[in-house]
């Protein structure tokens, strides 16, 4: 709901003010800093509900801040939306690997930012622990949906929130093939403006992080993706 605190890290004051103004108008509280050096101490102290993070900052950059956050007990579950002027997939993949939940490319309309913030927050609330026993175990991959943790034969794997949802979704329906748009619908709701290409990017990230275990997520040409059925 509105009233949540959004923390903005952006070195261009005009963009910072534009985002802040529009989020306040939408009912959110905002805090903003213009350097990466100021960001981390404030974040540790305040633990906002969501962070909008510019990737290209002088000094400590966005990737580094994101990684620090995701490695910190207090901050690791705070959703991060990256702002990037670059549209190359490699930057987006790197950002998602650093643990960002979503990204917006510049230039953007303030409306898009408000809509994304709303969606990411809603998703974060949906992910509140349901039950301690909400576990899926398949191919040596252990998914704990309550604790939001993934282990491959006992070894912890760090996934972003979106990667986690996609993996959980595929793993709860082994053998079923899902189209990219079905995957988007399942993990984000139908109103989410994400492209089918970004599903491929997410799958790429999941496979890479799962290492050998990633091969159990199979591409079905012309259709989409599935989790292999466990052979008995
Ligand atoms: Ca910048």
Q: Report CA(115)–ligand 1 centroid distance (Å).
A: 21
Q: Given phi > 0 = left and psi -120 to 50 = alpha, else beta, which region is 29?
A: beta
Q: How far apart are CA 157 and CA 162, in angstroms?
A: 14
pTM of the model: 0.57
Ligand 1 center to 214 CA (angstroms): 34
Rounded to the nearest angstrom, the distance between the alpha carbon of 89 and the centre of ligand 1 is 18
| 42-78 tens-digit pLDDT | 999 889 999 999 988 988 999 999 999 988 888 988 9
Ligand 1 centroid–CA 16 distance in Å is 10
Q: Residue 185 has what pLDDT?
A: 81
Which domains occur in the chain, in start order? Answer: 5-125 (3.40.50.2300), 132-227 (1.10.10.10)
Going from the Cα of 11 to the center of ligand 1, the distance in angstroms, rounded, reads 5
190 pLDDT exceeds 70? no
- Token readout for 200 is 């491929």
d(CA 104, CA 87): 9
- Ligand 1 midpoint to CA 71 (Å): 23
Question: Cα(12) to centroid of ligand 1, in Å?
Answer: 6
DSSP string of 135-151, one letter each residue: EEEETTEEEETTTTEEE
Q: pLDDT tens-digit profile of 104-143?
A: 888 899 999 999 999 888 887 766 544 444 788 899 999 9
């Amino acid at each position: 709901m509105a009233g949540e605190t959004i923390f903005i890290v952006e070195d261009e004051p005009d963009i910072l003010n534009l985002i802040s103004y529009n989020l306040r108008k939408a009912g959110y509280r905002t805090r903003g800093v213009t350097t990466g050096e100021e960001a981390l101490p404030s974040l540790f102290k305040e633990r906002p509900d969501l962070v909008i993070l510019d990737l290209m900052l002088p000094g400590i950059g966005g990737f580094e801040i994101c990684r620090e956050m995701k490695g910190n007990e207090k901050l690791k579950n705070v959703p991060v939306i990256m702002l990037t002027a670059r549209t190359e997939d490699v930057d987006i993949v790197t950002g998602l690997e650093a643990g960002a939940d979503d990204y917006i490319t510049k230039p953007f309309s303030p409306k898009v930012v408000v809509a994304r913030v709303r969606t990411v927050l809603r998703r974060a609330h949906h992910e509140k622990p349901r039950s301690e026993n909400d576990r899926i175990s398949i191919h040596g991959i252990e998914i704990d949906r309550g604790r939001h943790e993934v282990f491959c034969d006992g070894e912890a794997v760090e996934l972003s929130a979106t990667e986690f949802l996609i993996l959980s979704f595929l793993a709860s329906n082994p053998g079923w093939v899902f189209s990219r748009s079905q995957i988007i619908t399942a993990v984000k709701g139908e109103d989410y403006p994400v492209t089918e290409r970004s599903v491929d990017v997410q799958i790429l990230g999941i496979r890479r992080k799962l290492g050998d275990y990633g091969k159990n997520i199979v591409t079905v040409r012309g259709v989409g993706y599935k989790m292999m059925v466990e052979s008995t």
